[in-house]
Amino acid sequence: MGENLERLNANLAKMEELSKRMVNALAKKEGMDDPGLSGPGGDLYLKASSAFLNDMMTNPSKLMGQQVAYWSKALENFIETQQALATGTFEMPEDDEDAPKDRRFSNPMWRTHPYFRFVRKQYELNSEAIQQSVAELDLEPKEKSRVEFFSRQIIDLFAPTNYLATNPDALQKAIDTDGQSLVDGLENLVRDIEANKGELLPTLSDPDAFKVGSNIGTAEGKVIFRNRMMEVIQYAPVTEEVYRTPLVIFPPWINKFYIMDLKPQNSLIRWIVEQGYTLFVVSWKNPDPSYADVGLEDYIADGYLKAIEVAKDVTGEKQVNAVGYCIAGTTLSATLALLQARGDKSVKSATFFTTLTDFSDQGEFVVFLQDDFVDAIERQVGERGILDSFFMSKTMSFLRSNDLVYTPAVRSYMMGEAPPAFDLLYWNGDSTNLPGKMVTQYLRRLCQANDLADGGFELMGERLHIKDIKVPVCSIGTKTDHIAPWKNCYIGFEQFGSRDKTFFMSESGHIAGIINPPSKKKYGHYTNPKVKGTPDEWLEGADFHEGSWWPRWEEWLQRRSGAQVPARIPGESGYDILCDAPGTYVLEGKNS
HSE value, Cβ hemisphere, 13 Å, CA-based, for 451: 18
Of 587, 581, 583, which is closest to residue 235 (Cα–Cα)?
581
Angstrom CA distances, 536 to 120, 457, 508, 519, 544, stand at 38, 28, 18, 30, 14
Catalytic residue among 326, 447, 474, 489: 326
Under 8 Å between Cβ of 271 and 550: yes
HEC string of 28-54 equals CCCCCCCHHHCCCCHHHHHHHHHHHHH
Report DSSP letters for 105-122, one per residue: G-STHHHHSHHHHHHHHH
- CA 339 – CA 312 distance, rounded (Å): 15
- CA 482 – CA 510 distance, rounded (Å): 7
Would residue 326 show up in a list of annotated catalytic residues for this protein? yes
Side by side, which strands form the sheet with 221-226? 543-545, 525-527, 501-506, 473-478, 347-353, 320-325, 247-250, 279-284, 230-235, 221-226, 579-580
- CA 114 – CA 107 distance, rounded (Å): 13
- CA 204 – CA 425 distance, rounded (Å): 6
- CA 319 – CA 306 distance, rounded (Å): 13
Angstrom CA distances, 128 to 73, 105, 124, 152, 542, stand at 11, 16, 6, 11, 37
For residue 419, which phi and psi values (nearest 5 degrees)? -65, 150
Q: Is the dihedral of CA 388, 390, 393, 399 positive or negative?
A: negative
End-to-end CA distance of the chain: 46
Task: Tell me the sheet residues that pair with 226.
Answer: 231
Catalytic residues: 326
